[in-house]
Chains A and B, each alone.
Chain A
Amino acid sequence: TTDLLADALAIAQHHDAVSGTQRQHVAADYALRLSIGYLQAEKVVASSLSFLSAAKSSTEKKNPGTKFQQCPLLNISYCPASEARLSSGKSLVVVVYNSIGWKREEVVRVPVSSENVIVKDSSGKEVVSQLLPLSDITLRIRNEYVKAYLGKSPRDTAKHVLAFTASVPPLGFTTYVISDTGRTARGPSSSYVTSGST
Chain B
Amino acid sequence: NQNVEVGQGNLKLLYSEEGMKMSRFLSTSNEVTAEQSYAYYIGSNGTDKDPQASGAYVFRPDGERPIKSEGEAQLTIVRGPLFDEVHQELNSWISQITRVYKGKDHAEIEFTVGPIPVDDDISKEVITKLTTTMKTNGTFYTDSNGRDFIKRVRDFRTDWDLQVYQPVAGNYYPINLGIYMQDKTSELSVLVDRAVGGSSLENGQIELMLHRRMRHDDIRGVGEVLNETVCLPDGCKGLTIKGKFYVQIDKPGEGAKWRRTFGQQIYSPLLLAFTEQEGDNWI
Contacts and interface: CB of A to CB of B under 8 A. Distances in A.
A interface bracket (residues with beta carbon within 8 Å of B):
35 or more
B242 A95 contact: no
Given A68-B273, A93-B283, A106-B270, A145 B89 contact: no
Contacts of B275: 66-69, 81, 92-93, 95
A110 interface: yes
A135 interface: yes
A177 B277 contact: yes
A192 B77 contact: yes
A4 interface: no
Interface stretch (B44-52, B68-76, B148-156): B68-76
A172 B114 CA distance: 38
Which 8 A/B pairs are nearest by Cβ-Cβ distance? A189-B80, A81-B274, A130-B80, A68-B273, A191-B78, A97-B271, A95-B273, A23-B224
Contact of B73 (A63, A144, A188, A195): A195
Contacts of A194: 2, 4, 74-77
Contacts of A107: 82-83, 101
Given A133-B78, A177-B277, A21 B272 contact: no
B274 A24 contact: no
Nearest to B79: A190
B268 interface: yes
A144 B95 contact: no
Contact of B16 (A45, A138, A145, A198): A198
Interface string B241-258: 010000000000000000
Nearest to B99: A107
Interface stretch (B27-35, B126-134, B177-185, B227-235): B227-235
For chain B, the bracket of interface size reads 35 or more
A86 B82 contact: no
Given A18-B195, A21-B222, A193 B273 contact: no
B144 interface: no
A150 interface: no
Interface string A116-145: 000000101000111111010110010011
B17 interface: yes
Given A141-B112, A144-B230, A45 B78 contact: no
A92 B270 contact: no
B173 interface: no
B268 A79 contact: no
A98 B271 CA distance: 7
B276 A92 contact: yes
Interface in A58-97: 61, 63, 66-71, 74-76, 79, 81-82, 86, 89-97
B278 interface: yes
Given A110-B272, A148-B231, A132 B1 contact: no
Contact of A135 (B79, B82, B97): B97
A131 B231 CA distance: 33
